[in-house]
Structure 1
């Protein structure tokens, strides 16, 4: 995120905790039993925080269900596991990625780092955590779409530069697909639109249903690339 798009990141992810039992109950969008799914169904995991989870939205308005609908409309047979946990950091994602990648998962969308920025976590720590996630995916032969973050300038130019290098450098190093910003589809010339209330919830942190739809206009084609890589 750039400019005014980053004003929300300082409060980003300050939400209720999530128990292990809740994590085990990750929401699955689509057909849920192997006996019911066709052999050509592509199985994806969306690993992230509240943006992935769909915080503050009705179940069918969140990122995962809207993404699945977008893909289905374009002829893709896909099942997406919602691995979004509100308030999660890159460390949280690393701690649960291995057991979240159940045997049928073929691809993973990774959207983590906003809460690291909120807490001012050392970029080297965030980098190591994201790299750990990519190493687990590589070991399990899971293709990845890595979605990046733009750091605010409040922590200084060095922090900003170090943090922003994490995603493109790791994407190149591990050969993953890459999108620079979750909010790319919402931004106008790199900034949040003047009528931000039309696309964001009242907390100024999370997109509303329309905002999610715009997010998916940018994320969706990248997920199609991920599916093509899996099927290729």
Structure 2
């Protein structure tokens, strides 16, 4: 049971870590100063949530595990984040679209996780949900602003939605750890979030004058540790200092 709980925590926390790393890459590259600072703050929110999850996972794991070893010393196949989180910052439209799709899912997840039978997970969710409500407002406002903006911004946003839509279905896949934790009222049954997610997303897209893609086939694998070609490059940046200077102290 304890190993399933650790793996379940990874499934949530790795999303926040990898997406936070992607947003961190944009620091200093936002379209204006206010937006640049806002996205950097969202990255910090996600990394703060990651620390809370990893500290709990380290406590459960023992064996001298720390939040740092969990974040920086695992191999690619040991990360359980969804493929959506690791997609690159192709342009601002892609970054906002990726953020929006994850935010809508993340808020639904935390709304249920705060009722977890595990007091620590429930506490993390209750603390994080305030931040994520802002994340949803920020990203959805930009979707509307770009979608219902100029012809060029509309086209770029529609292209981003079309390309990233293929990663949305994986958000609702269950791993063995997920199923185990749901059965003990610790985890969230993400399959029950699917309808609300697509309803909420479609409502924003309609207001943004964007079309909802119609796909029959979706990409998956991240939750099982099978990642896209982008993940290795991301981890090379993320883990560089820790692997180059093992056990260093600041």
TM tier, shorter chain? 0.3 to 0.5
TM norm structure 2: 0.31
TM norm structure 1: 0.32
More strand by share: 1
Larger Rg: 2
